[in-house]
Chain A
């Protein structure tokens, strides 16, 4: 996850301590160094969902999965994660609000010292439900919207889904629950991106999180409508421009990018071009600490029946199930050759990733897309859009990569 607004506009976001251990000087609460050693865990609490979105990585539907974790098992999982030091538990699905025990589980996580956050389609979020969740300790609700009304409803498989999601966002804002927008970019909706930001900023949303399509679940079925590398580059550049325009007007929206660490190199190049070498060097330093693609390291997933996954998108493979042994035991088991390979991926990355100048801030990008495109989890990410000269370090990298790099000028 890359905070475009933080890097380009210096926004001091509450969660930056999670993404960047160099949240130096921040006056806002930061999560301690100790818990940053562990992954954020996404828990797909159920496969059931009241919508049927074309890109759903979980393949969610009305039926759900047999043998989903019970309330008691969910609480035991929370205990397990808390003992392991997991800092954030993201309640996801399916649609997590269809679980009648969601509030109870959120409260249990909060009482266990884990930051509970929610990923929802927003359509079931009434003011009463939002208040109940906030009182239970929920810290954040990310609501998915994938276009202006007509486009969103087509992508999400239900007429009225956009309006219902906006009502959900308003319910959160009404009760003081921090909320943000989530938007997965494809050819189907890239043209709506700026319009959605404008529309929902007017509603009061100030956090916008944009996801590159990953090829898991139904996302794999629509990889043919994923943006080309060139179109991806343009969309990210447009988002950088949009973020700066908002900030120049004094509207401090927070914008983030998820799921394609070519964005890291691109942000360095963009900053070098538009804002100067010092800013580019500072951004590089932050992103180097951030560590690039988090697969198998800084993010983990537990699916509805307890299978652990290396990211939430990569549901086709699981190194173990929490019904058999603890999450910590699974996550720490480096006798698993894939898990250990991903953690030392610099030794395994191949093709153009092997000698890319930006490898340390990207780490090869999505390993799932590499697997999907090349049948090899260490092959290049097909969505890398850096130019050959950028990857060779002949552009911004050549200017920032010098004796000064470890001690950039503060801005």
Chain B
């Protein structure tokens, strides 16, 4: 007998560092299933559709957007099981000016990596500024 997958909602919680985000789904042809293609930052569904259209207009017949904060995610995996629900961050108490406290716990990778497309080279130590 196959054991049922045990999923939890550990990955729920705010998903945006820069305002509201929307999950985006696209469909290329009428007979295709909707495909999840990521999220866009936008203040409203219309603005999210507009942003998604810029990225996928050359591809998609249908574009659906859904507020990322209103999605309940159930998964058998989680980034790290530290005994704390991911949504229960210490910033979640509304007192975001207080310094965060990070618990020291053992990280546990939960998902194996697939192959990656080859990249010719990589950028180096100064890859990330303008901040």
Contacts and interface: CB of A to CB of B under 8 A. Distances in A.
B120 to A, nearest CB: 4
A22 B82 CA distance: 43
B79 A305 contact: no
Interface stretch (A86-94, A124-132, A163-171, A401-409): A86-94
Contacts of B101: 100
Interface string A20-49: 110000000000000111111010101111
Given A1-B126, A99-B100, A211-B130, A59 B114 contact: no
B38 A318 contact: yes
Contacts of B51: 316-317
B86 A323 contact: yes
A368 to B, nearest CB: 11
Given A77-B79, A307-B15, A332 B89 contact: no
B122 A87 contact: yes
A38 B119 contact: yes
A73 B79 contact: yes
Contacts of B122: 18-19, 35-36, 38-40, 87-88, 294, 298-299
A269 interface: no
Contact of A73 (B18, B60, B80, B92): B80
Interface stretch (A138-146, A191-199, A388-396): A138-146
A68 B89 contact: yes
Given A64-B100, A67-B89, A337 B26 contact: yes
Interface in A92-144: 92-94, 98-101, 104, 108, 115, 117, 119, 139-140, 142, 144
Contact of A291 (B41, B110, B119): B119
Contact of B103 (A71, A217, A289, A323): A71
B79 A76 contact: yes
Interface in A176-230: 180, 182, 184, 207, 209, 211, 213-214, 216-217, 219
A84 B111 CA distance: 11
A83 B107 CA distance: 13
B127 A323 contact: no
Interface residues of A, number: 126
A219 B87 CA distance: 30
B104 A60 contact: no
Interface in A349-367: none
Q: How large is the interface on B (under 10, 10 to 19, 20 to 34, 35 or more residues)?
A: 35 or more
A258 B80 contact: no
A49 B89 CA distance: 18
User: For chain B, what secondary structure do more than half of its interface residues adopt (helix, strand, loop), or is it mixed?
Assistant: loop
Contact of B96 (A64, A93, A336): A64
Contact of B84 (A68, A70, A317, A325): A70
Contact of A79 (B11, B59, B107): B107
B35 interface: yes
Nearest to A304: B17
Contact of A67 (B87, B103, B126, B127): B87
Interface stretch (A232-240, A270-278, A370-378): A370-378
Interface string A48-76: 11000101111110111111111111111
Interface string A317-344: 1111111111111011111111001010
Contacts of A381: none
A329 B92 contact: no
A404 B106 CA distance: 55
B2 interface: no
B39 A67 contact: no
Interface string B48-77: 000100111011100000000000010101
A315 B91 CA distance: 21
B108 interface: yes
Interface in B114-131: 114-131
19 contacts: A18-B121, A36-B121, A42-B127, A55-B131, A63-B96, A67-B14, A70-B84, A72-B106, A73-B86, A100-B102, A101-B104, A142-B126, A290-B121, A297-B117, A312-B127, A317-B51, A317-B55, A318-B38, A322-B79
Question: Which 10 A/B pairs are nearest by Cβ-Cβ distance?
Answer: A75-B107, A328-B113, A72-B82, A42-B128, A76-B80, A76-B107, A71-B102, A65-B17, A15-B124, A101-B102
